[in-house]
Amino acid sequence: MTQRLHLVFGGELVKPTETAFKNVEDIHIVGIFPNYATAFDAWKNEAQRTVDNAHMRYFIAHLHRLRDEETPASPTEELG
């Protein structure tokens, strides 16, 4: 069975119209979730909690898309 992990994170942006964080050290890591549905619920909860701050944004990153097991390893991975 394939795992489809999702990371939910967010923080204050420099401008509400862009996706650059004001301070990367202050990024809030909500967690890693086993499927999109639970990640979406976590994202929605954080987004609603911070709705009064236009500069706060939360995102869902599809971790399972970052690594394709069918693709040969990169030279960096082969160092380990």
> Based on the number of CB atoms within 10 Å of its own CB, is 7 exposed (0-12), middle (13-18) or buried (19 or more)?
middle
Q: What is the 3-state secondary structure (H, E, C) of the chain?
A: CCCCCEEEEEEEECCCCCCCECCHHHCEEEEEECCHHHHHHHHHHHHHHCCCCCCEEEEEEEHHHCCCCCCCCCCCHHHC
The pLDDT of residue 66 is 79
pLDDT of residue 80: 47
pTM, entire model: 0.79
CATH classification of the domain holding 39: 3.30.70.2400
Q: How many domains does the chain have?
A: 1
Task: Confirm whether 50 is domain-assigned.
Answer: yes
Tens of pLDDT, residue by residue, the chain (80 residues): 677 899 999 999 999 999 999 999 999 999 999 999 999 999 999 999 999 999 999 999 998 877 666 666 555 454 44
Is residue 1, in this structure, part of any structural domain at all? no
Residue 76: the pLDDT is 47
Boundaries of domain holding 50: 6-79
